[in-house]
Structure 1
Amino acid sequence: MTAASSERLSVLLVEPFFTGSHEVWATGWQEHSRHRLHLLTQPGTHWRHRMMAASVPLAQATQEHIARHGAPDVVVASDMVDLAGFLGLCRSELVGVPAVVYFHENQLTQPTSPNGVGGLRDRHLAWTNWRSLLAAEEVWFNSAWQRDSMTDALDDLLAGGPAGDDQRPLLDGVRDHFQVRPVGCDLADLLEVAVPGSDGPPRDPGAATEAPLVLWNHRWAHDKGLDVAVKSMLAVASQGIDFRLAVVGTDDHHDPSRGDKLLEPLGDRVVHRGWLEPERYRQVLAEADVVVASARQENFGISVVEAVAAGCVPVVPDALAYPESISDPTFRYPPGRLTTALRNVLVDLDGFRARCAPLRESLRRFDWSNVATADDDRLQAVVERSGAQRSASARSGAVPGAGTEGEEPR
């Protein structure tokens, strides 16, 4: 980077679904960034409406923000923003301002809900994602898995257009702007948690004889596979293996009792369930011994990264984005083998803890102290490159959007 990399940029971060991992990402980066991040948000509800309509109120908020504070150096928008529509509505205020889009998830590969309208994939929203890719100077993904799976799905989407409208050639150019930028996590305190069997003292000597605590810490949603996890835990319990269970996270079901019905056969093994306050949640992370993932879709996996940083032994699928964070295949299971993998860990917990120590330390790369610095540097590069391109256009006399000689401007 040049000397300018130490300068503070004015960054407008636009997030129409301000909850969950989207909120954690936005506020975490704002807190740890050297740049000045200004957040423009909408509540994290009615996600489909936000994707289709939020560009209008967010554009109005942007215009008001710029009137008071001046234009930003760069815009960063989440995947829930119709970026092409947003930039069109702000075309006067954001002239020459580069834009980056960050994909937490996308509407081409996200599993559809088995309930209601969500059971059908909304191709309109998939096309919205495609237009956002085209409108951005850079496209950031939280994992290589999401980048690659979305690229494959885009090829299919673009091939499905009517005759004479094959947009696939544009995809090669868009790929050049792809970046993998993991989500930052608050791991510093979790990495200091003492783990039984490590060089430090046991976390709680008084609880040394308690059964191991297995943690499932994901959204209670169809794509996270709570039903799969419960089935495996019942199978492990039937083999006489003792454990306690914490099932924590927000409940996305229209019927909140559905999760309780799933857990009922596990009886008093379940010692925590449902959403926890942040402080209590981090206490449970520190108390847990094993973290289980059974997702049908995962583009990063903040909850697993947090749990392993706190000392949990992971039992995760050998698929999706998990190999990028859980790099040791010892802790990943092939399809249909969750029961066997969980049983193996519980009967040799000390052995797996010892093997997990290097993996735990490797997760430090996802701490915000490292991620924010890297993302800040990347934003600086985007701004510098955009400025250089504008300077080159000015020197050549080119006018953005103007037609060639003999043509009317479009």
Structure 2
Amino acid sequence: MKFLFMEPFFGGSHKSFALGWQAHSRHDIELLTLPDTFWKWRMRGAALQFIGKKKNYETYDGIITSDMMNLADFMALARKPLPPCLVYFHENQLTYPLFPGKQRDESLGIMNITTALAARRIIFNSRFHRRDFLEGASDFLNRIPGGNITWCEGALAEKSGVLYPGCPFPGGEALPGTPWLNPPLIIWNHRWEFDKNPGPFFKALKILKLKKIPFQLALLGEGGTTVPAAFASARRFFQKEIVTWGYAASRKEYETWLDRGAIVVSTANQENFGISVVEAVRRGCVPLLPDRLAYPEIIPREFHGDLIYQGYKYLPGMLENIILNYSRFIPVRDVLIKKMEQYAWNRIIAAYDTELDLLASHY
């Protein structure tokens, strides 16, 4: 069958996801995209920009789009019936953490709600994200003065489901032998932005350094428009430990650093799935992650005691334990390498294509 994938913000994880689905699906998926700039304008104006791009949408068996689309506007502007639409939520504007001092733009939250209500099917990238969105939508709807519109809550829950995003590594591949570094290499491979919350990470490392516990540090990840000041301070304080700094020049270079890594740490305030962590664990890094967001879903429950920390005060001690007793974690690492394989596109694509089969059946 033939589907149209309209992505208003074609960059980063949104781009990787759209290309991955297109490349692995047994269906024909055509991409219609806009650049990954001015994200608020994309949410507000993508419907206007997309509506004239195709003369006949009825040639498609279904339409796919993301949370960056105002689907209700698009459907109204079409002025005729459209194929059934599926929306994939990478993030949402009801609960996304705000930059310090900023106020939430409520119009973007209601846009997410109306987009979800207009769609035939909505898919979230984790159980955490689905629950977070539904709770955020309920809170928002109950704050609207002058009317009882709680019917929306049931409608949103009924049409929603969860599919973890495919990750850009093939399932079943034989991974290269890991060239272990001594002292062990700690990986940071998240965006350099406020919502990834680097402060507690560097604070924990500072405690270890002052205790003379040796480690090396790979600071990977993409810089945002405003890089947190914690990175500049860390570059000075950890100048002897840092072995690479900044976004890797190629996928091959990035994976080489992951292969050398011993531990990957997150202190994020926003993470609806955690592709960067899954990639690092798949390449042999032992994860140390907070007991919130989507992380408890990714790591099997039997490993939570050693790999999921309850609060930042526990982070330095748990990190020290992994460094000093790394040999004890090698069996855990090997189990997790295999577990992460389930998120490879060629392992998960059948579930995505089943969603498209069901979507088209409503046409």
The residue number in structure 2 matching 1:186 is: 168
The one-letter amino acid of 1:203's match is T
Q: 1:209 to 1:53 in 2, by over 3 A?
A: closer
**Per the alignment, in what secondary structure is the counterpart of residue 33 of structure 2?**
strand
**Per the alignment, in what secondary structure is the counterpart of residue 275 of structure 1?**
coil
2-structure distance, mates of 1:71, 1:86? 17
2-structure distance, mates of 1:340, 1:376? 44
1-structure distance, mates of 2:32, 2:82? 20
Match of 1:292 among 252, 265, 286: 265
Within the alignment, does 1:177 sit opposite 2:159 as a pair? yes
Within the alignment, does 1:332 sit opposite 2:308 as a pair? yes
2-structure distance, mates of 1:371, 1:101? 18
Q: 1:259 to 1:253 in 2, by over 3 A?
A: farther
What displacement does 1:254 show?
A: 2.7
- State whether residues 220 and 253 of structure 1, in contact with CA within 8 Å, keep that contact through their aligned partners in structure 2: no
2-structure distance, mates of 1:136, 1:326? 31
Number of residue pairs aligned between Structure 1 and Structure 2? 358
Q: Deviations over 1:28-47 (max 9, x none)?
A: 11111111111111111111
RMSD of equivalent CA atoms? 1.8
The residue number in structure 2 matching 1:33 is: 25
Of structures 1 and 2, the one with the larger relative CO (CA 8 A, separation 6+) is: 2
The residue number in structure 2 matching 1:318 is: 291
What displacement does 1:257 show?
A: 7.0
What displacement does 1:255 show?
A: 5.3
What displacement does 1:189 show?
A: 7.3
Match of 1:217 among 164, 179, 189: 189
1-structure distance, mates of 2:194, 2:228? 13
The one-letter amino acid of 2:165's match is V
Equivalent residues in 2 for 1:96-111, closer than 5 Å:
96-111=82-97
Structure 1 length as normaliser, TM-score? 0.83
Q: 1:243 to 1:189 in 2, by over 3 A?
A: farther
1-structure distance, mates of 2:171, 2:245? 24
The residue number in structure 2 matching 1:136 is: 119
Q: Deviations over 1:36-61 (max 9, x none)?
A: 11111111111111111111112222
2-structure distance, mates of 1:255, 1:322? 24
Q: 1:343 to 1:256 in 2, by over 3 A?
A: closer
Q: 1:255 to 1:313 in 2, by over 3 A?
A: closer
The one-letter amino acid of 1:45's match is T
Percent identity of paired positions between Structure 1 and Structure 2: 34
What displacement does 1:262 show?
A: 3.5
**Per the alignment, in what secondary structure is the counterpart of residue 120 of structure 1?**
coil
Q: 1:334 to 1:255 in 2, by over 3 A?
A: closer
Q: 1:28 to 1:166 in 2, by over 3 A?
A: same
What displacement does 1:365 show?
A: 1.2
Structure 2 length as normaliser, TM-score? 0.94
What displacement does 1:191 show?
A: 5.7
- Unpaired runs of at least 5, structure 1: 1-8, 195-201, 388-410
- Unpaired runs of at least 5, structure 2: none
- State whether residues 317 and 332 of structure 1, in contact with CA within 8 Å, keep that contact through their aligned partners in structure 2: yes
